[in-house]
Structure 1
Amino acid sequence: MIAYLVKRLVQGIAVMLVISALGFAIQSHLGDPLRDLVGQSLGQDAQQQLRQDLGLDDPYWAQYVRFLGRVMQGDLGTSLFFDEPALQVILKKLPATLELVFAATVIIVLLSVPLGVYTAIRPHAILSRVIMGLSVLGISTPVFLTAILMISVFSVGYGWLPAFGRGDAVPVWGYWETNFASLDGLSHILLPSVALAAIMLPMFIRLIRAEMLEVLQSDYVKYARAKGLHPLRIYYVHALKNTLMPVITLGGVQIGTMVAYTILTETVFQWPGMGFMFLEAVNRADTPLIVAYLIVVGLIFVLTNTLVDLIYALVNPTVKLARMGA
């Protein structure tokens, strides 16, 4: 297991190096750092001297090494708009995004597992046909359209839930504020989380159904039925455990993807998270903040995928043994 963790650590570092190289390329081509610092207030001679002092005339690889060194020290540049460290700006917005993704993940897990299992064990039932039909509709509907429809119905039409903002977020620690500690915060996070969950929920229902149908035809399930085990034990203990392996694989990737998908959801609901911040940074050409966002999101992807592989060992011990011997 230790050898596998070291291997994944090396792979993660390689991925982050690629992401940092892409971020540096974006930073180098989206604007002139010298102009961002001083504008047009200096003469040509002074600008040239400052350019040499900052090392902007150095070879590309030398500039990248300096950039990588600053990144490893947590220095992702200074936001041009906020005039404060870009990493600090992201850390202020990160809790809102993580809470939104967490709420959407809870909704996906609570609904996809029972609905996927039901449609597998009752494939010809009317309710199963309705669920599968709605899942096709859900996959085909863009998230921004789902969000707009929800606002039109539940906020504008009936006035049940707020349409924008984070509401009364309760301070917890440092930059962290939570929506789960107040009714107003819960009411504000409900619509955005449902809209975000609507992207992945149909996919998970269909995946669980397909895997469950295959597992139910296996010999050990037939043997469990022949032994007279209770159907619920067969479905939710023996069959579901093996069904979850590919679901965990997809889930780990998609949870990381949801962090990126929050751009549209947060924009529609004016949710003050990283996605909304990134879109504003693009509109303002805030290059350091854009690059910092890409690096942080890339790190979230790497950590999420590594965590999913570790969960494999808990769900299926044979995976753990195989990897320890790798």
Structure 2
Amino acid sequence: MIAFIIRRLVQSIGVLLFTSVLVFFGVFAIGDPIQILVPADASPAEIAQATHSLGLDLPMWQQYVHFIGHALHGDLGHSFVFNQPSIQLILERLPATLELALIALVLSLLVGVPLGLLAGLKANSALDRTVMTGSILGFSLPNFWQGTMLVLIFSVTLGWLPSAGRGELGTVLGIHTSLATWDGVTHLLLPALNLSLFKMSLVTRLTRAGVRETLPLDYVKFARAKGLRERRVIFVHVLKNIMIPIVTVVGMEFGSLIAFATVTESIFAWPGVGKLIIDSIMKLDRPVVVAYLLIVVTMFTVLNLLVDIIYSVLDPRVRLEAA
């Protein structure tokens, strides 16, 4: 186990280094932030001074070397626009994104697993066809269109839920969260639902496929032959054995929920990292974009490692040392 974790950590460092090269040169080769940061009537001397102060007058490879040197000490650069450490800006907004992603993930599991289980147990029935049709819609409908429709129906037409913002925050165990107040919960529902629809469809179809593959197996038939109650057969012998692929998807999709919450946060004006990145891209705030992408890659790498470890807990047959 220890050898596996060490090997994966070394691989992760290599991935992060390679990603940093791609991200840095890709982002820093696009556009000129000086044209946005300085006034239109700035003199050549003022432009040269601003370029020098930001280090943009250095060759690209020197800028990268400086970036890596500072990154090793936990400094991912200063924002051109806010004049603050990039990582500080991201961490200030990360709790809102994590909250949104976590609730979206919970919704996708609470709805997707039961629907997939019912569809798998009632294969080729009207319920199965209805659930599968709904999952296809969840896959197919664009995220921004879904968000617009949710706002139009539940905020504009019915007036049940607010359409923008995070609402009033409360404190639970020292954590500021929207879940601590009713106003915060109402603000959270629509963006979380919009973000969860695709994952909900994915979990539904994955659960259904797992149930259909597991039901004909010998150990399920043997459990029924022993006279076990159907509920025990389903929840102990079937559901437990299909949890490994579900855990894999959930682990990876949680990272994608955080990374790709940008559209949802923009539609619902949710003050998270996604909205910050959109603003930074528009203003060519390169250090913030690079820092965000590297943090996301790190998050995916850590989640991969955690998923592999959870594998061994759910199924002892999995040998991490052989990975």
What amino acid maps onto 2:120 in structure 1?
A: A
* Residue 323 of structure 1: aligned partner: 320
What amino acid maps onto 2:85 in structure 1?
A: P
Answer whether contact 1:78 1:85 (CA < 8 A) is retained.
Answer: yes
The one-character-per-residue Cα deviations of 1:233-270 (angstroms, maximum 9, x if unpaired) are 11111111221111222222211111122111001001
What is the identity percentage for the equivalent residue pairs of Structure 1 and Structure 2? 41
Answer whether contact 1:79 1:288 (CA < 8 A) is retained.
Answer: yes
CA displacement at 1:161 relative to structure 2:
0.5
1:97 is the counterpart of 2:94: no
Once residues 191 and 260 of structure 1 are traced to their aligned partners in structure 2, the CA distance between those partners, rounded to angstroms, is 19
Pairing 1:46-195 to 2, within 5 Å after superposition: 57=58, 60=61, 62-170=62-170, 177-195=176-194
* Residue 268 of structure 1: aligned partner: 267
Answer whether contact 1:86 1:289 (CA < 8 A) is retained.
Answer: yes
CA displacement at 1:33 relative to structure 2:
7.8
CA displacement at 1:302 relative to structure 2:
1.2
What amino acid maps onto 2:203 in structure 1?
A: F
CA displacement at 1:26 relative to structure 2:
3.0
Change (3 A) 1:89 1:56: same
Q: Structure 2 unaligned segments of length 5 or more: list them.
A: none
SS in 1 for 2:124: coil
* Residue 309 of structure 2: aligned partner: 310
CA displacement at 1:297 relative to structure 2:
1.3
1:30 is the counterpart of 2:27: no
Pairing 1:230-241 to 2, within 5 Å after superposition: 230-241=229-240
* Residue 212 of structure 2: aligned partner: 213
TM-score by length of 2: 0.91
Change (3 A) 1:231 1:166: same
The one-character-per-residue Cα deviations of 1:72-95 (angstroms, maximum 9, x if unpaired) are 212111112222111111011100
* Residue 287 of structure 2: aligned partner: 288
CA displacement at 1:166 relative to structure 2:
0.4
Answer whether contact 1:27 1:288 (CA < 8 A) is retained.
Answer: no
* Residue 222 of structure 2: aligned partner: 223
Once residues 295 and 20 of structure 1 are traced to their aligned partners in structure 2, the CA distance between those partners, rounded to angstroms, is 7
CA displacement at 1:277 relative to structure 2:
0.9
What amino acid maps onto 1:200 in structure 2?
A: K
CA displacement at 1:313 relative to structure 2:
1.6
Pairing 1:13-28 to 2, within 5 Å after superposition: 13-28=13-28
Q: How many equivalent residue pairs? A: 321
SS in 2 for 1:177: strand
